[in-house]
Structure 1
């Protein structure tokens, strides 16, 4: 069980992402359609857990070359994590499928989410990030919730995520509506 700690924003996170992204691009080559910094560390000014979240968008998740390339580069594949959870989507929905990797042993903590381009979960990470970047009041409210949850449940990830994740889904829903309104 890991301890949940929210730390103040660190500008170094953006530089760390660039370095990790370069390593991932070298390992994956053309298998990676895009490599994006996602999650709270990608939002300037937002407090976060000190974990760099990265989304690698690929053409197809069923390509064993992805697992081989990242594993050969030391990244640890978590075959037990195969999907995201989003309210309104069933467990078997293709829109929620993903692969998940962790950092090579002994390196800084990172979460690598491999998602298929064009799927809802792939768009979710980017839309959520961009909405928080563009809406500082919502970003600060999200930070307040995360800080409070970390205080109340510092050693209970299940409780922390049981409350935080539906709040994230709400922000995503608003971001989707906002995007539709702005496209009209």
Structure 2
């Protein structure tokens, strides 16, 4: 069973992302448009589960699917859409999960949402601090139930994702 724990920010998370990003980039080559570090480990000073979330923007999910064996070779297990239509999801580390890949085709709205939520938390440290409290509470009270942990964060994420989208749209003006 996976242990759900939220740890203080670790500056090595950025280098862990860069190391795997280089490996992934070498495998995906011309299908890859962009690779981003997302999620809580991408936000300086934010407590997080020590799992590096990687966002891939690709030209074709079908082409990405042909790379599953090569990604498996570097430790990533393909999980299909895993509950989100139009996504390809990969896990590394089994029960001791270390990385996730979330891949979407160019133009998918999920790309914007993941990036803007990260950027919003970076721009507003007090909100990131509030999010850390929500996550610490969820980790303490979820009894290592991943679905419950996520459910306990949902309201905060929904409210602040909506705020992040508004914020991003104001910046563009």
Corresponding position of 1:155: 144
Change (3 A) 1:106 1:155: closer
TM superposition score normalised by structure 2: 0.90
Please give the secondary structure, in 1, of the residue aligned with 2:62: coil
Indicate which of 95, 102, 106 corresponds to 1:117. 106
**Aligned length, in residue pairs:** 172
Please give the secondary structure, in 2, of the residue aligned with 1:46: coil
Corresponding position of 1:89: none
Structure 1 unaligned spans of 5+ = 84-95
Which stretch shifts more, 107-116 or 170-179? 107-116
Instruction: Give the structure with the larger helix fraction.
Output: 2
Q: Residues 78 and 100 of structure 1 are in contact (CA less than 8 Å); yes or no, is this contact kept in structure 2?
A: yes
Cα separation, 2, equivalents of 1:25 and 1:152: 38
Corresponding position of 2:167: 178
TM superposition score normalised by structure 1: 0.85
Please give the secondary structure, in 1, of the residue aligned with 2:143: coil
Cα separation, 2, equivalents of 1:156 and 1:102: 17
Corresponding position of 1:86: none
Indicate which of 115, 124, 130 corresponds to 1:126. 115
Please give the secondary structure, in 2, of the residue aligned with 1:62: helix
Alignment of 1:32-47 (within 5 A): 32-47=32-47
Corresponding position of 1:77: 78
Change (3 A) 1:123 1:73: same
Corresponding position of 2:15: 15
1:52 and 2:41 matched: no
Corresponding position of 2:3: 3
CA RMSD of aligned residues (A): 2.1
